[in-house]
Amino acid sequence: MLQLIQKQRPWARAFKGIQQRLLSLQTMNTPNENALKFVAKNYKFLPEFQTTAVEVNDLPDASQKSPLATELFKVNGVRSLLIGPDFITVNKVDQELSNNPDLQWGSLATKVSNVITNAIDSKIPVIDPEYEKELARILDEAQEDDDDVTYEIKELINTRIRPALQDDGGDIHFRSFDADSGVVYIKLQGACKSCSLSEDTLRNGIESMLKHYIPEVEEVKAILDPEEEIALQEFEKLERKLKEQQRQAAQ
């Protein structure tokens, strides 16, 4: 993702008419073929103080965080969302797991665009007011009581790394720094989390930059929340099952 040259996919041409009709939105490819970034022109999805993106993993999560996300999860094929300052990255079900054309971007992007546009026009809140209050308390900005190395890590993430990842429809959150081992623990979100290039992003992008500017950093490790680990395991089981069914059907 960092330092990645994006190539236009053939189906992206299908969105030209959408973009002409919905002037407030434009679609952008991400390095993850199952993630598409919807960028709003002259509109902010998040409150001004919030520069980090908000990840929404399922409908129950959406009910706590975002009325707009709740509407998007009603679209068949939407798997997870990342709401950024001026964009929403939508992750859909794996392209290899479905032959249904309605679950391909050529059809799905139109539905997502319509939901976002109609929600904005209808004044449906993007972020739940109570969750917005919580966001103000959990910002991972550099704090005065951080040790020097942690402060520098947060500053570099916020000023150099996060903008690059958000350009690709993802985001990053600092979790902790282990001074004894030199390991920085971070959490990837959005297109970055499930992209086949996420390991390359971690090593050649994030880790190399942090090690270059901050000598105390020896390694960067991405972590998952417990709920995400369980969901990932279940999804991998389903993926293996469906691929086996497809293999047997082809014989």
pLDDT tens for 126-177 read 999 888 877 766 655 666 678 899 999 999 998 999 888 888 888 888 888 9
83 lies in some domain: yes
Q: Give the pLDDT confidence score for residue 178 in this predicted structure.
A: 92
Question: What is the CATH classification number for the domain harbouring 125?
Answer: 3.30.1370.70
* Same domain for 172 and 92: no
pLDDT digits (tens, 9 = 90+) for 199-218: 777 777 889 999 999 999 99
C-alpha dihedral sign at 135, 27, 109, 247: negative
CA angle (149, 151, 157) in 5-degree steps: 100
Q: Is the pLDDT of residue 111 over 60?
A: yes
Radius of gyration of the chain (CA): 19
Q: Is the pLDDT of residue 12 over 80?
A: no
Has residue 4 been placed in a domain?
no
Distance between CA atoms of 109 and 77, rounded to whole angstroms? 10
Residue 243: inside a domain? no
Q: What is the pLDDT of residue 227?
A: 54
Residues 106, 214, single domain; the answer is: no
Q: Which CATH number belongs to the domain containing residue 202 in this structure?
A: 3.30.300.130
CA separation for the pair 132, 69 (Å, rounded): 14
Span 38-89, pLDDT tens digits: 998 888 999 887 878 899 999 999 999 999 999 999 999 999 999 999 999 9
Residues 17, 59 within the same domain: yes
Q: Which two tokens stand for residue 26?
A: 């434009």
Residue-range definition of the domain harbouring residue 219: 148-226
124 & 222 share domain: no
pLDDT of residue 23: 44
The overall average pLDDT reported for the chain is 80
Is residue 24 a part of any domain in this protein? yes
Is the pLDDT higher at 44 or at 23? 44
pLDDT-based confidence at 8, cuts 50/70/90? very low
In a domain, 81, yes or no: yes
Structural domain total, the chain? 2
pLDDT value for 110: 94
Phi-psi label, residue 3: left if phi above 0, alpha if psi -120 to 50, beta otherwise: left
125 and 152 housed in the same domain: no
Measured CA to CA, the distance from residue 73 to residue 81 in angstroms comes to 9
- Tell me the range of 39-53, 101-115, 237-251 where mean pLDDT is highest: 101-115
The residue ranking higher by pLDDT, 198 or 62, is 62
